[in-house]
Structures are given as C-alpha cells and as structure tokens.
Amino acid sequence: MLANANSLRFPTYYIELAESLLRSRQRDLAQVYTRCGITPAARQQEGMTLNLPQFLALVMICQENLLPGEPSSLQLLRHLPVTAHGMIGLAAMTADTLDQALDVGLRYFPLTMPAFELYRQRVGNEAHVLVRRVCDFGSPLNETLTELIIGSFNSMLFFASASRLGSAGKMIELGMLVEFAHTSGEEYIENFNAFFRAPAKFGCTENKFIVPRSVLQQPLLTRNHNAHTALIATLEWQLSGNAQPKPITQKVRNQLMLGFSVGKLFSANEIAYELGLSTRTMSRRLNDEGFTLPAIMESLRMERAEFLLVSSDIQVAKIAQQLGYAETAAFSRAFKRHTGKSPSDVRAIKG
C-alpha cells in the first residue's frame, strides 16, 4: 500500500461526475463545493487537482445518491463519458491503432486514478491488463473503483472501435473479457454482461481485462499523426510533474510482471530489448526517475511472493525458485528483510 496516500492528486473531472449524478437526481449542486471545501472559481484554475479528502468527499456524495438494484460502478459510468478523460481520450482516438490507443490509456493512467496501478502482459495472442490497488479504501469502495476503472477502459476501447473497420467494411467486435477478484458483483452479473458486451467473471485470481491482439492491431480511421503528437507532448509534460511512477519505470515493471506470470525472470538485456533501448540507456533513464533495476526487481519479487503465499498452496521452495532464488534460505531472508515477516508467518495468516 502507498506509504503516504494523502499525497495523491485526482483530476477535477470527478467533480463533473458528481454534478452529473446530482443533476439527474435533481439535487443541489452547491454541496459539491461546500463538502469539498473549494469554490467554482478555484476549480477553473489551470492545474487544479483534488487531494484525497476532497476525492473521498465526492465519493460519499455519489454513494448517497445512487439507486438500489444496480451496481454502483455502472451507475457512475453513465455519468463518466469517454470525453471526461480529456486529452487522454483525444490522444487515444488520434492514435494509429487500437493497440496504440490502449498504450495511451495505460501510460497516462496515473493522471486519472493514482490510487491504482495497471500492468500490461502479453499472454499468447492476447493482451492482459491487470488492475491493482496501491491505496486501500476499504470495501465496497475498493470493488466499486476497480469496476469503474475497467469499465472506463471498456468504454474508451469500444468508442474507439467505432472508428475501425474490418475487411468487409463492418465494425470489428472488441472481444474483451473481464475478470474480477471480488465476488460482490455476482448478483448483478446480467448487468455487467450487458455493459461489457461479453461475459464478466467474478472470484478470479486477478482484476483484469483481456483483449485479443488481433483486434488491437486494427487501424483507427480517426488517426491523426500531427494532432496525436501535440496531445502526447502535453500529456508528457503533465506526467513529468506527477508523483506517480514514470513511463520507463512502469514499462520495466510491466516486463518483469510478465516474466513472473510465465515463471521467467527477465535479464536487463531482455527487458531493454523489449523496450527498444540499450541496457545502458534504460539504466540511465531509470536513474533519472529515481529507480534502479535491482530495486524494482526486488520489490516486485516480494509483491509476487506475498501474493503467491496468500493466494496459493505452492511450496515456499517452489516460490523461491519461480522468483529466481537459488536457495530457499536466501529467499526467506530477503522476504523477511522486505516485509518484516517470514514466508511461513504470512502463510499462517492465510490458514
């Protein structure tokens, strides 16, 4: 979990979401500003963002105005149009392919919801995007925000899919699959299936969505190189001032996570090759962002180890082997140094 959650900053379009919901219920919009402690004029200031208490105040306003009988996330998504993401949505629409549009969404995701991280993995002929929390809001807000994030990407990709045609001149089906780790949405399974236009599964090992790579490779009719380049330049400037993981750091993490998922520990050379960089350049850019490859690797190893200890019955020795440790004792020492607990202590909690 994030050590200092109060440092998180959220975009002001969450104010628009709350206002849209209140407007549909014919409620007073002034409470948005009163309870968040801001003024309408302050909201218009360039670079204005919301802190964590302000974001949570908006969440509470929304929760108080939701209707029973339908998932909270789907009600909120009706008030969060694709255009709410501003430049990110436009940059996605002007990309060359749906694959590039997805990369835009992933790269600049920290600007929209810093309390979560996304990891893209290549699994066979599919692109898997994992959604993981870095801040614990408690249940049911954790589940609602997870559904909201995946639903937002579904809306963005489906909206973009309207601008790509198959060989017969017909719109290609998105073919997106959705998996949630929680089970609380199962009672509304028909609602989720209708929204995602595909079966949604609950009680899975990860929160993620899956898109066939063959679909992602299709060109977008709305692609515009000049507009895309200008939008990306602005987004890069915004991201450079953001406290969340920077682009190269995130890409390195994604590659390492991909390796862990298939039981392989990628070397620095292999990671650099996948990113189209020399090993030296990758190392330099990581240092510029305040990270090193060994530190990132060790952190992810421990995250993966803790996940496997809690969610599976794999022997500790096997986990150590999967994560590249030659000896189980070396893994146990590293795990205790990182978490303050031994692998057996964590597994005992599971039991």
pLDDT in tens, 244-286: 445 688 778 878 877 776 677 888 998 888 887 889 988 988 8
Region 302-314: mean pLDDT is 78
Whether the CB-CB separation of 77 and 195 falls below 8 Å is answered with yes
In this prediction, residue 160 carries a pLDDT of: 60
Residue 279, classified by CB atoms within 10 Å of its CB into exposed (0-12), middle (13-18) or buried (19+), is middle
The structure's pTM equals 0.64
By DSSP bridging, strand 49-50 and strand 10-11 are antiparallel
pLDDT in tens, 51-106: 888 888 998 999 999 998 889 999 998 887 656 666 787 788 788 888 888 888 88
Q: Does residue 142 carry a pLDDT above 60?
A: yes
The full length of the chain comes to: 351
CA distances from 221 to 96, 97, 107, 215, 326 (A): 8, 9, 22, 14, 51
Spell out the SS3 assignment of the chain: CCCCHHHCCEECHHHHHHHHHHHHCCCCCHHHHHHHCCCHHHHCCCCCEECHHHHHHHHHHHHHCCCCCCCHHHHHHCCCCHHHHCHHHHHHHCCCEHHHHHHHHHHCHHHCCCCEEEEEEEECCEEEEEEEECCCCCCCHHHHHHHHHHHHHHHHHHHHHCCCECCCCCECCCCCEEECCCCCCHHHHHHHHHHHCCCEECCCCCCEEEEEHHHHCCECCCCCHHHHHHHHHHHHHHHHCCCCCCHHHHHHHHHHHHHHHCCCCCCHHHHHHHCCCCHHHHHHHHHHCCCCHHHHHHHHHHHHHHHHHHHCCCCHHHHHHHCCCCCHHHHHHHHHHHHCCCHHHHHHHHC
Q: Options 3.40.50.10190, 3.20.20.70, 3.40.50.300, 1.10.10.60; which CATH number does 245-350 get?
A: 1.10.10.60
pLDDT in tens, 221-231: 777 888 888 88
Q: For tokens 């991201």, what's the residue?
A: 239
Q: What is the mean pLDDT of the chain?
A: 81
| Sequence ranges of the domains in the chain | 1-65, 68-244, 245-350
CA pair distance 255, 84, nearest whole angstrom = 30
Q: Does residue 153 carry a pLDDT above 50?
A: yes
CA pair distance 239, 232, nearest whole angstrom = 10
Q: Does residue 3 carry a pLDDT above 70?
A: no
In this prediction, residue 242 carries a pLDDT of: 54
pLDDT in tens, 330-346: 999 988 888 788 888 87
